[in-house]
Amino acid sequence: MTQPTALRASADAVLDALDPEQREVATSLAGPLCVLAGAGTGKTRAITHRIAYGVHAGVMTPQQVLAVTFTARAAGEMRSRLRDLGVAGVQARTFHAAALRQLHYFWPQVIGGAAPEVMPHKAGLVAEAGSRLRLQLDRTAVRDLAAEVEWAKVSLLTPETYAAAARRAGRDPAGLDATAMARVLALYEEVKGERGVIDFEDVLLVTAGVLQDHPQVAEAVRRQYRHFVVDEYQDVSPLQQRLLDLWLGGRQDVCVVGDASQTIYSFTGASPKYLLDFPRRHEGAKVVRLVRDYRSTPQVVRLANLLLDRVPVAQRRARVELVAQRAAGPEPTFTGYDDDVAEAAGIARRIGDLVAQGTRPSEVAVLFRTNAQSQSLEQALAEAGIAYVLRGGERFFSRREVREAVMLLRGAARAGDAETPLGEAARDVLVSGGWSAQPPSQSGAVRERWESLQALAGLADEVAAKRPGATLADLVAELDERSAAQHAPTVEGVTLASLHSAKGLEWDAVFLAGVSEGLMPISMADGPEAVEEERRLLYVGITRTREHLHVSWARARTPGGRASRQPSRFLDGLRPADDASSGGGVASSGRGGSSRGKRSRTPAKCRTCGAPLMTGSERKVGRCDDCPATYDETTFEALRTWRSAVATAASVPAYVVFTDATLVALAENQPDDVSGLAQIPGIGATKRERYGEQVLAVLAGADPTTVAASTGADASDAP
């Protein structure tokens, strides 16, 4: 059947101004389509024009198109663009919004009554589940366990299948072992059932269950939606993929768009495997690569491509090598600074120069790996009179753990202890707020809390270095001044954001701060896959840049501190060999000025075979899992006997006292004093105080049962 001339003209007009690859996407209306879209290549433009072309050509009906995105903002942008193209009625929604709409519509028909209430937060129910297990959980631990519940559910795991999967993935939520977390998960589901509510993930799970168990519902949905588009397909979870498969019902009218090089949410259950395997799972699928980068200058694009050149060969099959389309711009800069304070001040100076030259503050972003890094940056911008907006998190002085710590410091300052050095006095106070000399081995909220408190400890050192003889009262006064300065209202300001929260955004100028080993990649990145995800995170940061890109790191945390940090291994081959930088920095190649021939820090190595230690548990004991143990079995068994007795007396699981990995580390290292215990990861100040003398006695040969019996431990002593 021949299309009317006016209709053909309207459809053809949609294709105007598309590049050849975007046009290929827009005109590929039949069958499965996989679009590998690099950063800044106009993927939203391509898929919205595809929908508009299909509608104007009479191939698609707007009401029969479901476009799925990952954020409400992205869905709103898609609807807006479609309206501008003369197309209304397309359903552009997040996975959860689409599923919830279907659940509310079909629940009364197949179940009866109203759909269950969706609870806004998991924390309360997770805390209750932990309480029933007699776990002592603070707010940060509850937050981490809630995140682990989400990961388990989007990964389609049950309490029965969780433990094995978690061990394979190296999960360590709030220090719980996999078996304990499986119990938390089971009790969480039990509590939720008692309350008659569902959580955010249940919206997808229950909708999938209704579609699977009620063929008439599945058929109704499939009649309604004939064409599917999925944006950011590299971030789908197994649960979201299951729902998409049920929506499709074996049909092939699906277009997926993604970039495996921007997979940065695997910790939430996202997996690029569905994008990578799409052509295999959908026979005859067409694959189109969008490679023309309209966002960044050739200099920035070159850096991004160079970063991905170092990705292992096996992971390159879906890589998109960008081709810059913009005019040339300034070269990216690489600057090393003496310490975090100097780095923040240097960044503030450069931002001030850009603003003076006409760049709007809102077109500038400072991106960092962890939220704790924001403190020095907030302070430096405030002191420079540069307004800023913190994206994706609370301001440093608004965080609960910081507010609580400041209250503790204020109370201690009133007691007037002027004899103890400030750094030591502050740490003594911060211990009661949850700080320990050794960072926690796990990531998540527990780690973020520690980093915030560690930043306060570092600030105490900074005040002491500037003002010999300073007291807690001086530290509190400094904190009050900084807090007041950083809470000034802002409207037009520089964006401060973590790299994760910057995904999908772009600015004229981007400053990547703290690009050093331990932060990028983060020290908790266990194994090659986790390290490669850190590389992708840096890639996301680089590709947020339109024109000005500044990469920096600090050699020490505090002024006058030991210069132990090195530039990130990811910068090897990207930065000039010896390019002295301005702005208060040291030579851009890293430690002590010139560093020709120097490489980034190598990973810890096995004491037995010399191979790199890849996981947290391996680094804790100092050897590979495959290498034979180098400790005395009798000592290890004595420690286990003591731990079991202490746990039984306190009515807590054994792992709450010490994990197996910690016992192995104790048996391996055989510390003979409290300072030696402090060197064992997982034994913080609280556990040293509670168990230190007992552990040392067992290691010295005392009977473990007798040592445990002498403690008089009860449930109130549990950590």
* Statement: residue 489 has pLDDT above 50: no
How is residue 558 written in tokens? Answer: 């505090």
CATH fold, domain 309-395+488-571, is: Rossmann fold (3.40.50)
* Statement: residue 598 has pLDDT above 80: no
| Domain 5-99+204-290 homologous superfamily, CATH | P-loop containing nucleotide triphosphate hydrolases (3.40.50.300)
How is residue 46 written in tokens? Answer: 């391509």
- Stronger pLDDT, 590 or 685, i.e. the higher one: 685
Mean pLDDT check: name the lowest of 56-65, 218-227, 484-493, 596-605.
Answer: 596-605
Mean pLDDT check: name the lowest of 157-171, 200-214, 377-391.
Answer: 377-391
Domain 633-717: top CATH class: mainly alpha
CA angle centred on 504, ends 452 and 542, rounded to 5°: 75
Please give the helix or strand (H or E) that residue 146 lies within, else none: helix 139-154
What 3-state DSSP class applies to 441?
coil
How is residue 514 written in tokens? Answer: 């703290």
What 3-state DSSP class applies to 685?
helix
Mean pLDDT check: name the lowest of 250-264, 326-340, 380-394, 587-601.
Answer: 587-601
pLDDT, residue 109, reads 87
Q: Work out the average pLDDT over 87-99.
A: 90
* Statement: residue 716 has pLDDT above 50: no
What 3-state DSSP class applies to 612?
strand
* Statement: residue 658 has pLDDT above 90: no
CA 601 to chain centre: 23
pLDDT, residue 609, reads 62
CA angle centred on 603, ends 599 and 604, rounded to 5°: 135
CA angle centred on 460, ends 458 and 463, rounded to 5°: 115
Q: Three-state SS across 622-668?
A: CCCCCCCCCCCHHHHHHHHHHHHHHHHHHCCCHHHHCCHHHHHHHHH
Which one-letter amino acid corresponds to residue 663?
A: L
How far are the Cα atoms of 173, 547, 575, 640, 705 from residue 646, in angstroms, in the given order? Answer: 23, 60, 54, 10, 9
pLDDT, residue 595, reads 35
Instruction: Give pLDDT tens digits for 411-421.
Output: 888 877 677 88
Instruction: Give pLDDT tens digits for 6-29.
Output: 555 577 888 888 999 999 999 999
pLDDT, residue 473, reads 86
* Statement: residue 491 has pLDDT above 50: no
Please state, in angstroms and rounded to a whole number, the distance separating the CA atoms of residues 124 and 146. 9
Q: What is the dihedral of CA 293, 296, 300, 304, to 10 degrees?
A: -40
Instruction: Give pLDDT tens digits for 278-300.
Output: 999 998 899 999 999 999 999 99
- Stronger pLDDT, 339 or 527, i.e. the higher one: 339
CA 23 to chain centre: 35
5-99+204-290 and 309-395+488-571 have identical folds: yes
Whether 79 and 86 have beta carbons less than 8 Å apart is answered as: no
Highest mean pLDDT among 83-87, 269-273, 514-518: 514-518
Whether 373 and 523 have beta carbons less than 8 Å apart is answered as: no
pLDDT, residue 615, reads 53
Mean of all residue pLDDT scores within the chain: 83
Share of the chain above pLDDT 70, in %: 85
How is residue 680 written in tokens? Answer: 């064992």
Instruction: Give pLDDT tens digits for 429-459.
Output: 888 877 888 777 655 667 667 777 887 887 8
- Which residues, other chains included, contact 636 with Cβ-Cβ below 8 Å and sequence gap of 6+? 629, 663, 664, 667
Nearest CA to 519 out of 554, 550, 545 is that of 554
pLDDT, residue 624, reads 63
Nearest CA to 547 out of 586, 587, 506, 583 is that of 506
pTM beyond 0.85: the answer is no
Domain ranges of the chain: 5-99+204-290, 120-198, 309-395+488-571, 397-486, 633-717
Whether 667 and 661 have beta carbons less than 8 Å apart is answered as: no
Sign, Cα dihedral of 564, 568, 573, 574? negative
Per-position DSSP letters for 192-244, written without gaps between them: HHHHTEE-HHHHHHHHHHHHHH-HHHHHHHHHH--EEEESSGGG--HHHHHHH
Nearest CA to 450 out of 195, 654, 682 is that of 682
Nearest CA to 663 out of 629, 628, 710 is that of 629
Q: Please tell us whether the domain made up of 120-198 is placed in CATH 1.10.3470.
A: no
pLDDT, residue 88, reads 87
User: Would you call 181 exposed, middle or buried from its count of C-beta atoms within 10 A (0-12, 13-18, 19+)?
Assistant: buried
* pLDDT class of 1 with cuts at 50, 70, 90: very low
* Statement: residue 256 has pLDDT above 90: yes
pLDDT, residue 629, reads 63
Q: Work out the average pLDDT over 34-43.
A: 93
pLDDT, residue 356, reads 92
Mean pLDDT check: name the lowest of 144-153, 159-168, 388-397.
Answer: 388-397
Q: Which residue has the tokens 């026979």?
A: 283
* Statement: residue 654 has pLDDT above 50: yes
* Statement: residue 594 has pLDDT above 80: no
pLDDT, residue 718, reads 37
